[in-house]
Chains A and B, each alone.
Chain A
Amino acid sequence: MTQIMLSGVSKRYPGGHDALSDITLTVETGELVLVTGHSGAGKSTLLKLMAAIERPTAGSVLVNGQNIGTLRARGIPFLRRNFGLVFQDHKLLFDRSVFENLMLPLDIGGFDRREGARRARAALDKVNLLHKEKARPITLSGGEQQRLCIARAIVHRPAVLLADEPTGNLDSDYAAGIGRLFAEFNQVGVTIVLATHDTLLAELLAPRQIVLRDGRLQS
Chain B
Amino acid sequence: MRAWGSAHYRACAGALRRLAATPLATLLNIVVIGIALALPMAFYVVLENARGMASDYSPQPELSLFLAPEASAADIKVLELRLKNHAGLASYRFVPKAQALEQLKSRAGLGDVAAGLPQNPLPDAFIVAARDSSSAALETLRAEFAAWPKVAEAHVDSDWVRRLDGLISIGRYAVLMLAAVLAFALVAITFNTIRLQILTQRDEIEVAKLIGATDGWIQRPFLYFGALAGAAGGITAWLLTAAGLLVFNNQLKPLAALYGLPLQLSHLNWSDSVYALAIAVVLGWFGAWLSVRRHLSAQNPR
Contact = CB atoms under 8 A, between A and B. Distances in A.
A111 B301 contact: no
A85 interface: yes
B207 A104 contact: yes
Nearest to B7: A110
A181 B273 CA distance: 61
B207 A91 contact: yes
Interface stretch (B186-194, B211-219, B245-253): B211-219
Interface string B1-35: 01110110010000000000000000000000000
A112 interface: yes
Given A73-B300, A91-B206, A93-B204, A113 B212 contact: no
B212 A77 contact: yes
B210 interface: yes
B14 to A, nearest CB: 10
B203 interface: yes
Interface residues of B, number: 23
Contacts of A110: 3-4, 7
B3 A53 contact: no
A104 B10 CA distance: 12
Contacts of A80: 210-212
A147 interface: no
Contact of A93 (B2, B4, B7, B207): B207
Contacts of B10: 107
Contacts of A108: 208, 211-213, 217
A82 B212 CA distance: 9
Contacts of A105: 211-212
Nearest to B296: A73
A54 B301 contact: yes
A52 to B, nearest CB: 6
Contacts of B212: 77-81, 83, 105, 108-109
A74 interface: yes
Contacts of B204: 93, 95
A41 to B, nearest CB: 21
Nearest to A52: B301
A109 B208 CA distance: 11
Interface string A70-92: 00011011111101010100010
A152 B207 CA distance: 11
B107 interface: no
Contact of A85 (B3, B6, B203, B210): B210
A197 interface: no
A55 interface: yes
Interface string A139-161: 00000000000001000000000
A51 B301 CA distance: 10
Contacts of A83: 212
A172 B211 CA distance: 29
Contacts of B211: 80-81, 85, 104-105, 108, 152
Contacts of A77: 209, 212-215, 217
B163 interface: no
A154 to B, nearest CB: 12
A162 B7 CA distance: 28
A93 B201 CA distance: 10
Contacts of B207: 91, 93, 104
B302 interface: yes
Contacts of B4: 110
A102 to B, nearest CB: 11
A74 B210 CA distance: 13
Contacts of A94: 203
Contacts of A112: 2-3, 6
Contacts of A81: 211-212
Contacts of A113: 6
Interface string B207-243: 1111111110100000000000000000000000000
A91 B217 CA distance: 19
B7 A107 contact: yes
15 contacts: A73-B215, A77-B209, A77-B212, A83-B212, A87-B210, A91-B203, A91-B206, A93-B203, A93-B204, A93-B207, A104-B207, A107-B7, A107-B10, A110-B4, A112-B2
Interface of B: 2-4, 6-7, 10, 203-204, 206-215, 217, 297, 300-302
Chain A to chain B: the 5 pairs with minimum beta-carbon distance, closest first: A80-B212, A81-B212, A110-B3, A108-B213, A77-B214
Given A87-B210, A105-B212, 18 more contacts: A54-B301, A55-B302, A73-B300, A74-B214, A76-B300, A76-B301, A77-B212, A77-B214, A77-B215, A77-B217, A91-B203, A104-B207, A105-B211, A108-B213, A108-B217, A110-B7, A111-B3, A113-B6
